Structure 1
Amino acid sequence: MYDIAHYEEAHSVQEAVQLLQAHPRARLIAGGSDLLIKIHEGKMPDAELISIHGIPELKGIHRDEQGTISIGSGTTFSEITRHALIGEHVPVLGEAVDKVGGPQIRNIGTIGGNICNGVTSADSASTLFALNARLRIQGAGGMREVAIGDFYLGPGRVDLRHDEVLTAILLTRENYEGFGGHYIKFAMRNAMDIATLGCAVLCRLKDKRTVEDFRLALGVAAPTPMRCLKTEDLVKGKAFSAELLQEAGRTAVTEVNPRTSWRASREYRLQLVEELSKRAFQQAFVNAGGEMV
């Protein structure tokens, strides 16, 4: 049973903002793959919902003259995975969101909802962290942009005011062009499961061996998605080798703070951080055009 006390449907972002102002208890709903579960479980009694599912300006993927890729917050995971611009320029993001749930969830779930939930296990989050994504937000006070790293405030908490709507995710050319990437989701099942640990690596090479730029982002390794900046500094400018791979994995472990949960112990997650960081680094190096010796 769904305990829904009030429901409105917005036809534009501006209307959604106005409805949020008029209903202080209301929550936005797009695909509803997470929110409806909470309502069904009785965690949101007398829920008030404002649907943004049908707003055209929140959908689609575009690339402007400067090379910035804009992903509408209402774009579904399946649409992202299949889109030509993502396949050509940011295939690692398409691969990451293709690991969300099962086909039914990916067909209705939106990338905006995945981000605004604020959970560290979101499959899109660590890859967007590695891509230095920026978020465009519209509210009663106008439009603002925020770096995704500043958007996550804590477990389940994000920098989104009640009368604001996340409208787009922005990926600038300098943060994806020339990079090879790889995302690994470790979960107890191959599908329909939440990540025990998520690991995204982006790698850009100066030649076939030297790592010019390197990003390592993790999910479920801390209360929020995170970048391993110390590990990144260690790797940048060095020639790829088995020794560097091992050192990167060991260093990543020193930067994280995973917790014990019913899914996995802290110790197990630390082991995953080391191993998955190495595996994702190696595959990202290959995807960037690197040559293994």
Structure 2
Amino acid sequence: MYDMKALYEAQSVEHAVALRLEHPEAQIIAGGSDVLVQMREGRRAGKELISIYMIDEMRGITIDEDENIRIGSLTSFSHITRDPIIQKYINVLGEAVDQVGSPQIRNIGTIGGNTCNGVTSADSASTLHAWEAIVELTGKNGVRRIPIKDFYIKAGTVDIRVEDGEIQTAILIPKVSYENTYGHYIKYGMRNAMEIASLGCSVNVRLSEDKRTIERCRVAYGVAGPVPMRAPSAESVANGSTISESLLEDFSLAVLKDISPRNSWRASRDFRLHIAVEMAKRCLEESIKRAGGVIE
């Protein structure tokens, strides 16, 4: 049984904002794969819920007038993985969210729910950081867009202004981040399926025309700190560098300057630091290969 005080069902984004303003203590619920479990466990017992699941305008993937890839916040993981725009331009995001939970969870779980939870282990989070995603929020003052790196405030907390009735309506990937760019994501967990990441690493590269130089590199981690994070020291090593085995080594070791994982029952800090280096190396190597480069 679910102990809830009331359930309000929004019919549109405007209606959701109005309900949010009227019931500021209410919990937003989309697919419910997290909220309902927490409610059943008693952690959200007696809460009011605002369901946004019926707002179809918040579903789907398009390319907007500015050539951003626009992912509606209610788009399920399964749809992201199979979507032709994602497969063409940012297939690594589809691969990353295809590692979330079970097929049933991927069918009901949404990209908006995954990011709004604010957890560093979310399988979408490191890839969205590496691709410099922009979060779109809609409230009583209209639309607000912020870089995803600023959206995550601290563990479990994101920048959504409840007092303004804000809800997350979309995630945007700018053209400058996805054009001619190729990436790879590795998730490490104690099991191969149905597992929360002990560490996640996502890398993407854009190569020069002759495929010998890395023009642009981005690397981001989940569970390497309280929030998903980039590793700018490693990016600086790779940007503008000629592709080589020594570059892979220098790049992967440089991530240690930026990440700060914790000890937990899933993995120790030292183990996370150890595998972070190897994951960065493997992700960069695969990203270079996908971009058509050769490591000599």
Please, what TM-score do these two structures have when normalized by structure 2? 0.97
The aligned amino acid for 2:194 is M
Paired residues of 1:179 and 1:203 also in contact (CA < 8 A) = yes
In 2, Cα distance between equivalents of 1:54 and 1:168: 15
- 1:63-103 CA-partner distances (Å, limit 9, x unpaired): 13432110000000000000011001110111111111110
Q: Where does residue 241 of structure 2 map in the other structure?
A: 238
The aligned amino acid for 2:269 is R
Deviation at 1:230, TM superposition (A): 1.0
Runs of 4+ in 1 over 6 A off after TM superposition: none
SS of structure 1 residue aligned to 2:206 = strand
Q: Where does residue 103 of structure 1 map in the other structure?
A: 103
- 1:140-178 CA-partner distances (Å, limit 9, x unpaired): 122110100000000001000222110011111111011
Q: Where does residue 152 of structure 1 map in the other structure?
A: 152
SS of structure 1 residue aligned to 2:14 = helix
Give me the identity figure in percent.
52
Please, what TM-score do these two structures have when normalized by structure 1? 0.98
Q: Where does residue 184 of structure 2 map in the other structure?
A: 182
Alignment partner for residue 225 of structure 1, among 228, 244, 256? 228
In 1, Cα distance between equivalents of 2:292 and 2:102: 31
Paired residues of 1:135 and 1:145 also in contact (CA < 8 A) = yes
Q: Where does residue 66 of structure 1 map in the other structure?
A: 66
Paired residues of 2:245 and 2:295 also in contact (CA < 8 A) = no
Deviation at 1:245, TM superposition (A): 0.8
Question: Unaligned regions of 5+ residues in structure 1, if any?
Answer: none
Q: Where does residue 2 of structure 2 map in the other structure?
A: 2
SS of structure 1 residue aligned to 2:237 = helix
Q: Where does residue 56 of structure 1 map in the other structure?
A: 56
Q: Where does residue 211 of structure 2 map in the other structure?
A: 208
In 1, Cα distance between equivalents of 2:68 and 2:259: 31
Q: Where does residue 252 of structure 1 map in the other structure?
A: 255
In 1, Cα distance between equivalents of 2:65 and 2:229: 30
SS of structure 2 residue aligned to 1:260 = coil
SS of structure 1 residue aligned to 2:2 = coil
Q: Where does residue 293 of structure 2 map in the other structure?
A: 290
In 1, Cα distance between equivalents of 2:138 and 2:9: 17
SS of structure 1 residue aligned to 2:119 = coil
Question: Unaligned regions of 5+ residues in structure 2, if any?
Answer: none
Q: Where does residue 198 of structure 2 map in the other structure?
A: 196
Q: How many residues are aligned here? A: 293
In 2, Cα distance between equivalents of 1:236 and 1:145: 27
Aligned CA RMSD, in angstroms, stands at 0.9
Q: Where does residue 276 of structure 1 map in the other structure?
A: 279
In 1, Cα distance between equivalents of 2:34 and 2:195: 13
The answer as to 2:72 corresponding to 1:85 is no
Paired residues of 2:233 and 2:257 also in contact (CA < 8 A) = no
SS of structure 1 residue aligned to 2:234 = helix
In 1, Cα distance between equivalents of 2:232 and 2:257: 11
Q: Judge which range, 62-71 or 51-60, deviates more.
A: 62-71
The aligned amino acid for 2:177 is N
The aligned amino acid for 1:185 is K
Q: Where does residue 16 of structure 2 map in the other structure?
A: 16
